[in-house]
């Protein structure tokens, strides 16, 4: 990764736990980092404000793009206030928090933006380990799209997925190693009900986030105790 220190990178940035961790991962590995945040008709505009605040705090370029048409293409509980959110993934189906095409549109648009700004590295916080039933978070999708984007624009983009094979506890560990655990915990917005920091504690996203944090903190405490005993 040190070979990329002279290059620019673009982070698809939501202001949530995963993309914020990826932002600081990018700052560690690339010489210049840009962020691109999308409005897709999500119910909670605070998500966009969080992204802007974190990008400013990190000292990176922030760009917002309105793609609200995505939310109007289908029915899902993240953009339609009349739909009650699934508490868990329905058996044999997608959770209704799945926004069809979201990552496809985001990454395709990010690639166009990157091309026009001389950027070939695109970073996204998707994870197959904790993908919650979302098909557009799978490694096979990302690899396929990477090839398609390269062919479509005759470019050599590289889509980086630092969290692809990490569970939430390992994602918290990465944030801690990067020195931003408190920032990620207090200033990001992952909650489907639009509550900053630790969130509502009840939605699927909050449960996953909280369980991962508890697992990581227990592991860190155990490791510290073992070290002190030696």
Straight-line distance from the first to the last Cα atom of the chain, in angstroms, rounded to the nearest whole number: 34
Residue with tokens 């655990």: 181
| Contact yes or no for 194/46 (Cβ under 8 A) | yes
pLDDT for the residue 72? 77
pLDDT computed for residue 22 by the predictor: 98
- Number of folded domains that form the chain: 1
Asked if 129 contacts 172 with a C-beta cutoff of 8 angstroms, the reply is no
- The CATH number of whichever domain residue 14 belongs to comes to 3.40.50.620
**158 phi and psi angles, rounded to 5 deg:** -125, 115
Residue reference for tokens 């995963």: 18
List the beta strands (DSSP E) in the chain: 8-12, 32-39, 61-66, 121-123, 158-160
Query: How confident is the model at residue 229, as a pLDDT?
Result: 60
- pTM exceeds 0.85: yes
pLDDT by 10-residue block (mean), the chain, 230 residues: 86 97 98 95 86 98 92 74 68 73 95 98 92 84 98 98 97 98 97 92 91 96 71
Report the pLDDT value the prediction gives residue 222, as an integer from 0 to 100: 82
Q: What is the pLDDT of residue 133?
A: 72
> Residue 73: what pLDDT?
80
Residue 189: give the domain boundaries: 2-229
């Amino acid at each position: 990764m040190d070979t990329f220190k002279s290059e620019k990178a673009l982070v698809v940035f939501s202001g949530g736990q995963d993309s914020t961790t990826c932002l600081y991962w990018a700052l560690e590995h690339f010489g210049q980092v840009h962020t691109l945040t999308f409005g897709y008709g999500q119910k909670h505009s605070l998500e966009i404000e969080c992204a802007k605040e974190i990008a400013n705090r990190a000292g990176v370029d922030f760009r917002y793009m309105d793609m609200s048409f995505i939310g109007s293409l289908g029915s899902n509980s993240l953009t339609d206030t009349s739909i009650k959110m699934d508490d868990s993934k329905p058996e044999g189906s997608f959770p209704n928090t799945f926004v069809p095409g979201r990552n496809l549109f985001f990454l395709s648009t990010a690639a166009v933006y990157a091309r026009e700004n001389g950027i070939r590295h695109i970073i996204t916080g998707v994870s197959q380990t904790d993908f919650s039933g979302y098909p557009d978070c799978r490694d096979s999708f990302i690899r396929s799209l990477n090839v398609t984007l390269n062919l479509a624009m005759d470019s050599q983009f590289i889509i980086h997925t630092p969290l692809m094979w990490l569970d939430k506890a390992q994602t918290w560990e990465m944030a801690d190693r990067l020195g931003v655990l408190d920032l990620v915990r207090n200033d990001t917005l992952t909650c489907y009900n639009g509550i900053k920091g630790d969130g509502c504690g009840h939605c699927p996203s909050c449960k996953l986030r909280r369980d991962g944090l508890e697992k990581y903190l227990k592991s860190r405490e155990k490791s510290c105790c073992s070290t002190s005993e030696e």
